[in-house]
Amino acid sequence: MTDTLVKFDRVTKRFGDFTVLKDLDFEVKKGEKVTIIGPSGSGKSTVLRVLMTLEPINEGVVYVDGRPLWHEEKNGRLVPAGEAHLREMRRSLGMVFQQFNLFPHMTVRRNLIEAPVRVLGLSRKEANKRAEELLAMVGLTDQADKYPQQLSGGQQQRVGIARALAMRPQVLLFDEPTSALDPELVGDVLKVIQQLAEEHDLTMLLVTHEMDFARQISDRVCFFDQGTVCEEGPPEQIFKTPKNQRTREFLHAVLHPNE
Amino acid sequence: MLFGYAWDTSSNWAFAVSILPILLQGMIVTLEATVLGFFIAAVLGLIFAVLRAVPLRLVSWPTIFIVEFFRDTPLLIQLFFLYFVLPEYGLLLPAFLTGAVALGVQYSAYTSEVYRAGLEAVDRGQGEASRALNLPPAHTFIKIILPQAIPRIIPALGNYLISIMKDVPVLSVVTVVEMLNVAKIIGDRTFQYMIPLTMVGALYLIMTLLASYLVRTLDNRLPTQGIPLK
Ligand SMILES: Nc1ncnc2c1ncn2[C@@H]1O[C@H](COP(=O)(O)OP(=O)(O)OP(=O)(O)O)[C@@H](O)[C@H]1O
Ligand SMILES: [Mg+2]
């Protein structure tokens, strides 16, 4: 139990009358690399956005490192959390966005040092050193003084990954990190993520449509459908011998799109 | 004789030359009213835009109502209200100040819309990325959102500066002696309206062209590095 880092306990999330997550139970262990796959609209992004505190929940409790994310304990009862609690909880979380969401008016360097300086209280020098290490890691050593728009999409996404890592999160969330990229740029980004997965004990939760990639890096694959985990298991099992009919249909549709 | 200058009606040319300094006196008032009115509109509009965005209906709804009210009532009514009604309640402002406030209030409705549109044009992902990095909300607004909104806001504000300038003659009805009013006074006294009015038109043309040029220059100088302006 102690090695569970993220836990959704019967979480329900609605947008108006529409229920996106239905009584969702879902866990991620420390250091685990989990990919979420599933049809469009099944709530994959919502799971990540709830974790990143970008989207509040309606029912249930989300735990991160044993502590409720969206609630605070008051007199033995769980009440909705205030901004201070959310700020504290957010320290363990980082996110890489589908559209990168780099700050376009800042250089790559500024993008990487803004939050470490302002939020973590690093000195400019320390933050800069950290930024340069991370840029080297994602293969962008020479690009620090460019603006995001001067980079290719693949390079921008690698900056996005470096920016999230600069905050040293425990859990890194990726929402379709390569979906906005031209096909020839996908490989470089996936390589960086794979390297991260192999070399670090970082916990990773990844939504992706890249099935080969999911198979390679995941400890576990979760197939989402209509706001719940429909089937989950080791990648070999999910991809080779899916038990659920809907999983089979989905995998068939994405792996053999032309049939 | 006006502002210490006499006019010479011996010929059209002499008349035009002799009233130019008088009209320029009026022009200064026009420019002062424009600048002050614009300043009020720019500040008040920002306040309205921020209040409107407060996620508290007790704050946002009255703001929306007030802005709508300012926008949908004629400038002249607001001007009369400030000039004739407020003194009944003991608030007596000089005509010039009343006029500038009326312009500022009326145009704050438009500028608040400019700010709102400018802020909303910034991608939602920017705020989300900032939140994900745990940057505080005020920092997010000032350092992330605002710098991306400003290059969209400035040109639209500039257009309203010019509109305000062209609305200043309305203030003449509450005795502000701006440029058009000066021309009218000259006309009343000399029975020659065509020359002063034509000159006011020409001076306005020069002022608006100059203002457009300044706004465009400022716009080109703004640091828009990297900001995608659709
Ligand atoms: N802010 C919102 N307001 C209303 N409905 C929303 C909102 N965000 C998401 N939804 C709806 O919730 C459902 C799940 O959205 P979500 O983005 O989690 O799906 P997804 O699995 O990530 O899909 P995709 O593969 O297309 O990214 C969708 O039907 C979507 O239309
Ligand atoms: Mg999605």
CA of A46 to the centre of ligand 2 (A): 7
pLDDT at B53: 85
Compare all CA atoms of chain B with the CA of A148 and give the residue at the minimum distance.
Answer: B226
Which residue's CA is minimally distant from atom 17 of ligand 1? A45
* Residue nearest ligand 1's atom 30 by CA: A41
| Segment B60-103, tens digit of pLDDT | 999 999 999 999 999 999 999 999 998 889 888 899 999 999 99
Q: Tell whether B25 is covered by a domain.
A: yes
Residues 6+ apart with CB under 8 A from B28: none
Per-residue pLDDT reduced to its tens digit, B110-157: 999 999 999 999 999 999 999 999 999 999 999 999 999 988 898 899
Residue A248 CB neighbours (<10 A): 14
Q: Is A112 on the interface with B (CB under 8 A)?
A: no
The answer to whether residue B3 is domain-embedded is: no
Task: Judge whether B105 lies within some domain.
Answer: yes
Q: How far is B29 from chain A (nearest CA, A)?
A: 40
pTM of the model: 0.83
Mean pLDDT, 10 residues at a time, over chain A (259 residues)? 86 95 94 95 95 96 94 89 94 96 95 96 96 95 93 95 96 95 90 90 94 92 93 93 92 83
Give me the DSSP letters along A171-221: EEEEESTTTTS-HHHHHHHHHHHHHHHHH---EEEEE-S-HHHHHHH-SEE
A:136-165 residues touching chain B, CB 8 A cutoff: 147-150, 163-164
DSSP state of A145: T
Q: Is the pLDDT of residue B42 over 90?
A: yes
Q: What is the CATH number of the domain that holds B80?
A: 1.10.3720.10
The A18-29 sheet, strands edge to edge: A18-29, A4-15, A59-64, A67-68
**B144: containing domain:** 13-221
Both structure tokens of A59: 């029912």
Evaluate if residue B3 carries a pLDDT over 90: no
Nearest CA to ligand 1 atom 26: A40
Residue B132 inside a domain? The answer is yes
Taking the C-alpha atoms of residue B170 and residue B155, their distance in angstroms, rounded to an integer, is: 24
CA–CA gap between residue A61 and residue A80 (Å, rounded): 10
Flag whether B179 is in a domain. Answer: yes
User: What are the chain A neighbours of B123 within 8 Å (beta carbons)?
Assistant: 99, 101
Mutate to test the interface with B, among A50, A69, A102, A105 (most CBs of B within 10 A): A105
Q: How far apart are CA B191 and CA B118, in angstroms?
A: 49
Residue of B nearest to A172 (CA): B132
List C-alpha distances in Å: A200 to A31, A256, B113.
8, 33, 49
pLDDT value for A144: 94
Q: How many structural domains comprise chain B?
A: 1
3-state secondary structure of A61: strand
Give a yes or no: residue B190 inside a domain.
yes
Q: Does B123 touch chain A (CB under 8 A)?
A: yes
In chain A the first and final C-alpha atoms are separated, in Å, by 44
In a domain, B230, yes or no: no
> Looking at the domain assignment, is residue B20 inside a domain?
yes
Question: DSSP H helical segments within chain A, as ranges?
Answer: 44-51, 83-90, 108-118, 124-137, 153-165, 183-199, 211-217, 235-240, 245-255
